[in-house]
Structure 1
Amino acid sequence: MTEYLPLIMFAAACIVLLFGYPVALSLAGTALIFAAGGIATGVFDIAFLLATPNRLYGLITNQTLIAVPLFVFMGCMLQRSKLAENLLESMAELFKGSNGGLGISVAIVGMLLAASTGIVGATVVTMGLISLPTMLKRGYAPSIATGTICATGTLGQIIPPSIALVLLGDVLSSAYQQAQRDMGIFSPDTVSVGDLFVGAIIPGLCLVALYIIYIAAMAKFRPDLIPPEDEKPEDTSAVALSLLHDLTPPLLLIVVVLGSILSGIATPTEAAGVGAFGATLLALLRKKLTLEVARDVCRTTTRVTCMVFLILIGASIFSLVFRGYGGDDLIQSLFNDMPGGVFTATLVVMVVIFLLGFILDFIEITFVVVPIVGPALLAMGLDPVWFGIMIALNLQTSFLTPPFGFSLFYLRGVAPDSIATSDIYKGVIPFIMIQLLMLGLLAAWPELATWLPDKIYS
């Protein structure tokens, strides 16, 4: 019975979370209760808990994690500068007259907004407020309109620079080093956030392309859901000029942030600082930077950052107690004994992460689940970049899946009462199928995630 205590502790933490208690306190509290019981019965070594100060010191001195508040600040500032609103208006005007043009515009703007903010909730809410009324007014079926917005909103999980990828990169780096130590390999090789950013580019663009193909196909074959556009733009050159004016600043900012990382000029943290400064400058040039906006952005950034680090502290205590009970060895032995080897183990982990995505945000899953299963799977030979992109895509799919998908709740909160919840559920199903197709393609051809990093960093 004692050997299964790590799994019992994990199940207990999930049950506590289902009761609605704060994630950080649930993780730390559950772990400390189990540790106290283990110390009292002599089955737990208190030395693991005594390592907590060193672990926390490592967190606050971690250079990579500094990118989190900087990217959050960048996203919040761009959101307040009305970036998406102007982009959508210009792009919709350019596509006016082409069937499904508005839906395609929403997909493209959603991709750019995801690359700018990296925050799923912010993207879904923003796109819901500015594009849903327009799509309904143009005759789009509620299911198509809501499904498109929910799906494009979750692109913030996979399109770099994504906060999810920043956190995954840091956790996977530790898991990869742990896996190497377990195998008796002492190498300086690690997994960087830049590797994940580069690896996510092709799968992210493929996903956007599949979304656009689906919207275009529905516009052609189901005019009852996406009515044809009769109105033509009055002056195409003027519209294109307006689009160029709205598109250039955010696109330039994204290129500078990503380009500096990919070229090796800057680390992700340094690039995040450039992005935060650039977003502030952009808001200033658009005359949107007021004292109230600055105060609101700083408060939001502080709130999100505190939440991330508090969860990280709770998850660190949880992982120490989990390791103290021999959880790493238990997971490794369970995976090794599974029929089908690494394939079955990976499939089981992906299913568990998908299900946990219903009740946990990506931050909790990244900090709790990945440190537990990551070292064992990476020791079995999985490519860490491919594994990270698979997790990000998997969580993105989970956030779309009824009835608990986070993206659905975000949109439900800003959608008018005339939109039935069943319409939102029905609208996301085709996009879930597209997500699963992309996951299958990535599983069949890992090169979709690994080819570009190998090409750039070789």
Structure 2
Amino acid sequence: MMEIVALIMFVALFALILTGVQVAFALMAVATVGGLVVFGDSVFHQFVGKIEDVATNFILAAVPLFVFMGAMLERSGIAEDLFSAIRIWTRKLRGGVAVGTVLMAIVFAASTGVVGATESLIGLLAIPPMLQQGYKKSLISGTICAGGSLGTVIPPSIIIILLGPLADVSVGDLMAGMIIPGLLLGFFYLTYVLVASAMGGAGPRLEHDPADDMSLSEKLVLSAKALLPPLVLISAVLGSIVTGAASPTEAAGIGAACAVVLAALHGKLNLRMLWHSLVQTLSVTTMIMFIVLGGSLFTGVLLGTGALWNVQDAISAMDVPTWVLILTFLGIVFAAGFFLEWISILLIFVPIFMPFIKAAGVDPVWFSVLVLITVQTSYMTPPMAPAIFYLRGVAPKEITLKHMYAGVMPFVIIQFVLLGIVAVFPVTVLWLPSILLGF
């Protein structure tokens, strides 16, 4: 009987989401009805406990701080200076603007930790010069979507902050484990952009620019000034978490304080900017926390049905090979990415998958990184790619949905290549955490 209740809960959840109900409210509604069936009136006492758990979770307190840090950086002008400084060095390359866009995305992803927060900003900065220089619209679209989504796999990242407790693994180990795959992905993106540009994806190099008249020392000083703010944030946030000097929440607090100071030093800090950053932080954090709460309620009721343990016993009895189990789970995550947000995917599926993964003797940090890469891949994969919807908000009408679909596909293939490398060579994930553990 309880297995049927669990199945109906899943069907009802996806039906509500597909009909346009907000994910958080769909999770809560299904959890409430399912909880009444499973636990009766006592479900409300359990819900109060779940609400308290989410509200008092120390790690989740890092979420609004990271969001605030990203909002401050977006409005401080630091991104514009960074993009201009990078273009000084890349403008003479065929495809230099696209290369500069990916480089900026890597640095900003490692600075803000906010998933997808940089895509709109990068698009506003990079699309006009790329159109002016005759880039193919598909290459423009793919570069912006791929670069803007790097915040998923390059730490620090809000998605890692949420995944750590769900997978019952150290957030520091996850961040350390994502460094090498994240940098590999950035390198693959840069390689593809250069090759595609050389094959006609980009227009001719600019003949002359005022930056060409700058001396080497002037270029170095300008670049240092532009790179210093994000490097300070990367060192303060990521460095303190990975080395164990601070918890994720403490590091997020340090990053938020640094973002305010950097905005002030940049001459952009004022009450209006601070107010808009706080409003954006409140809006994004509320959305995230409602989904987290809904996922917690849904998972609690699902566990109460006992269906998961029966499934685990059935899988154990079938003696399924470990690699089949992993591929099945990653396939479910990838398919779910077509119609669910990344937060929902983690909250619904990770608590279900992790007991099987641990029982099979699979390293949970390595599997968690595979999940992160898969989530980002589905984030970019048509037809329901969230990365494309971010781009549509800032792209001119001449860049159509067809251009966007065509542009992201090479980057999706690159994502699968990285997924294969990490799957075959777990050392790419586990080496750095093991090194840091020795200190």
TM-score tier (shorter):
over 0.9
Q: What is the deviation of 1:210?
A: 0.5
Using a 3 Å threshold, how does the CA distance of structure 1 residues 230 and 127 change in structure 2: closer, same or farther?
A: closer
Q: Secondary structure at the match of 1:381?
A: coil
Aligned to 1:231, which of 193, 196, 207? 207
Q: Which residue of 2 aligns with 1:196?
A: 174
Q: What is the deviation of 1:414?
A: 0.9
Q: Which residue of 2 aligns with 1:9?
A: 9
Q: Which residue of 1 aligns with 2:26?
A: 26
* One-letter code aligned to 1:126: L
Contact residue 94 and residue 236 of structure 1 kept, 8 A: no
Moved more, 400-409 or 362-371: 362-371
1:401 aligns with 2:358: no
CA shift digits 1:179-199 (9 cap, x unpaired): xxxxxxxxxxxx211111101
* One-letter code aligned to 1:227: G
Q: Where does the alignment leave 5 or more consecutive residues of structure 1 unmatched? A: 174-190
Work out the CA distance in 1 between the residues paired with 2:125 and 2:91.
17
Aligned to 2:195, which of 200, 204, 217? 217
CA shift digits 1:28-52 (9 cap, x unpaired): 111221233x35xxxx576565333
Work out the CA distance in 2 between the residues paired with 1:63 and 1:441.
34
- Aligned pairs (5 A) from 1:412-423: 412-423=392-403
Give the CA RMSD over aligned residues: 1.7
Q: What is the deviation of 1:230?
A: 4.7
* One-letter code aligned to 1:152: G
Q: What is the deviation of 1:99?
A: 1.9
State the percentage of identical aligned residues: 40
1:58 aligns with 2:38: no
Q: Which residue of 1 aligns with 2:89?
A: 94
Q: Secondary structure at the match of 2:61?
A: helix
Work out the CA distance in 2 between the residues paired with 1:230 and 1:29.
57
Contact residue 35 and residue 301 of structure 2 kept, 8 A: yes
1:376 aligns with 2:353: no
- Aligned pairs (5 A) from 1:23-422: 23-36=23-36, 38=37, 44=39, 50-173=45-168, 191-220=169-198, 222=199, 224-231=200-207, 233-237=212-216, 238-337=218-317, 340-422=320-402
Q: Where does the alignment leave 5 or more consecutive residues of structure 2 unmatched? A: none
* One-letter code aligned to 1:164: I
Contact residue 35 and residue 43 of structure 2 kept, 8 A: no
Q: What is the deviation of 1:342?
A: 2.1
Give every structure 1 segment of 4 or more consecutive aligned residues whose post-TM-superposition deviation is greater than 3 Å: 44-50, 337-340
CA shift digits 1:414-452 (9 cap, x unpaired): 100011110111011100000000001111011111110
Work out the CA distance in 2 between the residues paired with 1:305 and 1:154.
19
Q: What is the deviation of 1:207?
A: 0.2
Using a 3 Å threshold, how does the CA distance of structure 1 residues 394 and 338 change in structure 2: closer, same or farther?
A: farther
Q: Which residue of 1 aligns with 2:429?
A: 449
Work out the CA distance in 2 between the residues paired with 1:19 and 1:338.
36
Q: Secondary structure at the match of 1:64?
A: coil
Q: What is the deviation of 1:234?
A: 2.5
Work out the CA distance in 2 between the residues paired with 1:84 and 1:73.
15
Aligned to 1:429, which of 397, 403, 409? 409
Contact residue 96 and residue 231 of structure 1 kept, 8 A: no
Contact residue 48 and residue 320 of structure 1 kept, 8 A: no
Work out the CA distance in 2 between the residues paired with 1:319 and 1:380.
22
Q: What is the deviation of 1:371?
A: 1.3
Work out the CA distance in 1 between the residues paired with 2:80 and 2:423.
36
Q: What is the deviation of 1:162?
A: 0.3
* One-letter code aligned to 1:300: Q
Q: What is the deviation of 1:58?
A: 2.1
